[in-house]
């Protein structure tokens, strides 16, 4: 007979992993859309807080220094799950799955310090830097059903409500004729779905789950200001307010854990997101680039025009970890991770090509039901060249890093 690891004896170690995991990934990925709160036994609730501070510096094409463009950000995650009976479970999860926060400053090609000779007086220099802010919120409702004689299999799914909004400012000679472009994308809420399956074998603390999230199509308003669009070369209005379609990407998550011995747990997380299918394409920006493509000055611009933001490759993310129960109430964990990035060169609004990471965490059971967790992770960002939408490389970012801190309060009653 094999050793019985008993999931209950290892439970103190489980949540130590997810405190500061899967943060600041490729494209606009942030939270990793973790659903492990729903996979816990019995009645379970958690509140998690994550803070990320990155140092992303580089040089523009002229050799000028670019000071740290990465704005620190934080977000919360909430989850609650309950068993209706030994077959059916329900849960609700909240997270902030996608986002961006970058702000250029200093004296470089991404700040409007000097008059841009292209504009012939259309806009004056104002000392304003390129800036982007994207925020999303997501609420997922899940119902699951356990199957099989021993209830080892579970299928689950449900609706997802997602809210998105964005602001982008392009400033400086790096963006050529798009210097001075601004768009405000109004908040919009739309809906998608989640589906998955899981397998568990409690006697060896084994649990595996495969989760799919659908893409979500948002239709909202974009208010654009594009000073150069009113030039004789383009011949359009400088202002436009109209519809924009933004489709946040689908994703697949694989979560795995198993006991190695009665006090040690191993985990693995794998995530795939097809960022190569994602784009933000405001209508005035795109139409102006289509017109420019017909002019000699628009050599290299495709006839269909340009996206404001897009990515060339899909994201793969892997995280491996070990957790050790030191006492009946205390466990520690460690993990390493890798993120592929979403291409290089990549948009100058997020010039990072993935990362490697290493993290530590701990969980302490304050009472039989209540626990607190804390963790941190160090990130080594991949070197990347920043490009503008026309695919022209305008910057170089090297030797950058960051860190993530997280804390969690959880309740569980079995």
Assess contact for 289 and 71: CB atoms under 8 A: no
In the predicted model, residues of the chain with pLDDT beneath 70 are 1-25, 114-125
What is the per-residue pLDDT for 184? 97
| CA 104 – CA 81 distance, rounded (Å) | 42
Q: Is residue 273 part of a domain?
A: yes
Give the C-alpha distances (Å, rounded to integers) separating 223 from 65, 68, 203, 251: 32, 28, 57, 29
What is the per-residue pLDDT for 1? 37
| CA 350 – CA 100 distance, rounded (Å) | 8
Q: Is residue 148 part of a domain?
A: yes
Which token pair is 34?
Answer: 């973790």
What is the per-residue pLDDT for 19? 58
Q: Which of the 8 DSSP states describes residue 237?
A: -
Give the C-alpha distances (Å, rounded to integers) separating 255 from 54, 266, 317, 400: 26, 11, 12, 29
Exposed / middle / buried, residue 248 (Cβ in 10 Å: 0-12, 13-18, 19+) = buried
Q: Is residue 388 part of a domain?
A: yes
| CA 151 – CA 160 distance, rounded (Å) | 26
What is the per-residue pLDDT for 81? 97
Q: Is residue 407 part of a domain?
A: yes
Assess contact for 289 and 282: CB atoms under 8 A: no
CATH number, domain containing residue 99: 2.40.160.60
Domain around 44: 7-413
Other CB atoms closer than 10 Å to residue 82's CB: what's the count?
14
Q: Is residue 1 part of a domain?
A: no
| CA 357 – CA 336 distance, rounded (Å) | 5
The structure tokens 């933004």 sit at 246
Exposed / middle / buried, residue 36 (Cβ in 10 Å: 0-12, 13-18, 19+) = buried
Q: Is residue 271 part of a domain?
A: yes
| CA 305 – CA 293 distance, rounded (Å) | 7
Q: Is residue 55 part of a domain?
A: yes
- Which residues face 192 on adjacent strands? 160
| CA 198 – CA 202 distance, rounded (Å) | 13
Give the total number of structural domains in the chain.
1
Geometric angle at alpha carbon 219, from 214 and 223, rounded to 5°:
140
pTM: 0.92
| CA neighbor of 254 nearest in space, from 239, 235, 271 | 271
Q: Is residue 2 part of a domain?
A: no
Other CB atoms closer than 10 Å to residue 345's CB: what's the count?
19
């Amino acid at each position: 007979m094999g050793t019985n690891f008993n999931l209950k004896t290892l439970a103190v170690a489980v949540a130590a992993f997810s405190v500061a995991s899967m943060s600041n990934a490729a494209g606009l990925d942030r939270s990793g859309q973790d659903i492990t709160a729903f996979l816990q036994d019995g009645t379970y609730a958690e509140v998690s807080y994550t803070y990320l501070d990155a140092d992303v510096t580089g040089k523009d094409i002229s050799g000028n220094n670019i000071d740290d463009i990465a704005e620190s950000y934080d977000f919360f995650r909430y989850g609650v799950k309950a068993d209706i009976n030994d077959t059916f479970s329900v849960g609700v999860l909240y997270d902030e799955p996608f986002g961006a926060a970058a702000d250029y400053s200093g004296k470089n090609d991404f700040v409007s310090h000097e008059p841009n000779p292209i504009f012939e007086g259309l806009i004056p220099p104002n000392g304003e830097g390129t800036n982007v802010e994207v925020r999303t919120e997501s609420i997922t409702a899940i119902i699951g059903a356990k199957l099989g004689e021993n209830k080892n299999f579970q299928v689950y799914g449900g609706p997802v409500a997602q809210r998105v909004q964005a602001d982008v400012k392009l400033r400086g000679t790096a963006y050529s004729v798009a210097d001075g472009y601004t768009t405000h994308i109004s908040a919009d809420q739309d809906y998608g779905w989640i589906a998955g399956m899981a397998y568990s074998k409690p006697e060896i603390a084994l649990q595996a789950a495969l989760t799919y999230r659908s893409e979500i199509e948002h239709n909202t308003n974009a208010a654009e200001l594009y000073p150069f669009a009113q030039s004789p070369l383009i011949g359009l209005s400088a202002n436009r307010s109209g519809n924009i379609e933004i489709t946040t990407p689908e994703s697949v998550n694989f979560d795995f854990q198993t006991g190695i011995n009665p006090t040690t747990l191993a985990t693995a997380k794998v995530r795939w997101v097809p960022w190569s299918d994602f784009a933000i394409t405001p209508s005035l920006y795109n139409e102006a680039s289509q017109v420019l493509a017909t002019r000699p000055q628009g050599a290299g611009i495709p006839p269909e025009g340009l996206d404001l933001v897009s990515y060339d490759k899909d994201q793969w993310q892997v995280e491996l970890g070990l957790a050790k129960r030191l006492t009946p109430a205390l466990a520690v964990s460690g993990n390493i991770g890798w993120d592929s990035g979403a291409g290089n060169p990549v948009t100058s609004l997020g010039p990072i090509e993935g990362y490697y990471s290493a993290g530590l965490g701990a969980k302490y059971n304050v009472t039989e039901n209540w626990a607190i967790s804390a963790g941190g992770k160090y990130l080594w960002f991949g070197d990347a060249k920043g490009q503008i939408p026309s695919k022209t490389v305008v910057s170089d970012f090297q030797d950058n890093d960051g860190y993530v801190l997280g804390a969690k309060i959880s309740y569980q009653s079995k």
